[in-house]
Structures are given as structure tokens and as C-alpha cells.
A and B are shown apart, each in its own frame.
Chain A
């Protein structure tokens, strides 16, 4: 039963983040790029003031997979880095925490773009 609950929370919380994104698409003039930027900044703020952490505890992937989770990761990385290195950590913490995702996105992005051809747009 525990495992069922865990996946249910991941589904519900993750789904809600996406539903909020869809409301922004349907009812505002925000472009997808602006929505992604807004979600990341929201994640940094929510992570910073400490309300995102409990959500991660509850929903796991439901909170870490949406782009707000990326923002939360940045805030978390900065906090740990500042504790360790002081002001230098404010500069290094974000990239350190984001390095896996950014490295993967850049490298796979390059490889895939090299291998595949742009399909004709209909």
C-alpha cells in the first residue's frame, strides 16, 4: 500500500505542476520559454524559503521531475555550497548542483542533433 501511495503522490503533484503550466498557456500570453523560466525561478524561491523540501519528501519524482525541481536543486546546491565555502559557494553552488542535468542536456542534445535530420514540417 505504501508503494501505491508513493506513486500516487508523484502522479498527483507532478500532474498539478503541469496543469498549472497548461493554465498559463491557455489563459496568458506566456510563451513556453517564459513558462520554463518562471518555473525554474519559482523553484529557486520555493526551495529557498523551505516549502519545496516537504513536497519532495511527499511526492519524490512528482516534485523533482518538473522544472520547479530544477530550481529547488539550484537553491539546495547553493545553500550547501555557502555553508561550505562562504560567498564563493553562492557563485559555484548552482552550477555544481545542476551539472548532471546540464551536462546531459548539452551532450545528448549535440549527439542527437548530429545523428538525426529535421523532419519536414507539415
Chain B
């Protein structure tokens, strides 16, 4: 069967259940907002314990990454993500989930090229483009003496 891209689009539109944005967007807002509020709570807690602002920020990230990795291992993160959509994708916890999920999935293909390599399936592009963007920014700062 030959189909044009347009026909294909029509077919996928019919086949996939309509996304109910009046539900998905508020859910993403709610869950994502709650995760960020938890982050704010951790930031305050660590600063209260005597850490500097920068250290508290770093430890907050580490904590959120650990919790999300653990929840992914327990298969709970993906369950929440079904309802939260971008609410669990956009926070740093989603990055952690993107590291653990493929690592777990491809463990059966070996510890080096399975787990070790696939751990970077999502983290890799984020690092490549994020770091490169920051280096370009740094070069611009240096050339125009903006620092």
C-alpha cells in the first residue's frame, strides 16, 4: 500500500485518541508545579542546615535526581508520567528518568554497550547541545569582553 505523508497524517489522526488538552495542560501545570515547590522546599531546608545558596542548589538537584531515579527503578515514575505528561518531563526529575529508563531497558544487551551506552540516549543530546550552546555563549562573552 502506497500512501503519501499527508494521507499518513490523516490516518494517524484517526487512529490516535484525541489529546484532551483541557486535561493534559492543567495536569502538567499541577504536577510540574508541585515538583518545583518540592525543590524550593529542599533549597530552603539545605540553606537552613547551613549550606551556601550554590551548594544548596546543587544538593537539591542531586536529591531530586536520586528520588526520580529510584522511582523509575520501582516503575512508579512512568506511572505518574502517564498522567502528568510534561509535568514530569520538564523538571530535572524528567532528565533523571531519561537516564535510568533506557539504561534499565537495555541492560539485557550488556553492561557496556547496553546499560552504559543507552544511559545516554536522552542525556547525551541534552549534554551535547546544552554544553555546545554554553561554549558558544562563552566565546561571544570573551570576544566582546562582556564578562
A residues adjacent to B (C-beta < 8 A): 6-7, 10-27, 32-33, 35-37, 39-41, 43-45, 48, 59-62, 64-67, 69-71, 73-75, 77-79, 81-83, 86-87, 89-91, 93-95, 98, 100-102, 104-106, 108-119
Contact B92 A69 (CB under 8 A): yes
Please report the C-alpha to C-alpha distance between residue A60 and residue B40 in the assembled complex, in whole angstroms.
6
Per the bound structure, the CA–CA distance linking A71 and B140 in Å amounts to 16
- Decide if A66 touches B126 in the complex (CB within 8 Å): no
Q: Which residues of A contact B142 (CB under 8 A)?
A: 82, 86-87, 89-90
* Chain B stretch 47-80: residues in CB contact (< 8 A) with chain A: 57-62, 64-66, 69-70, 72-75
B83: shortest Cβ distance to chain A, in Å? 12
Interface residue tally on B, bucketed by range: 35 or more
Inter-chain contact B24/A90, CB cutoff 8 Å? no
Q: Which residues of B contact A119 (CB under 8 A)?
A: 75
In the assembled complex, the CB of A112 is this many whole angstroms from the nearest CB of chain B, namely: 4
CB distance from A49 to the nearest CB of B (A): 10
Contact with A along B76-101 (1 / 0, CB 8 A): 00000000011101111111101110
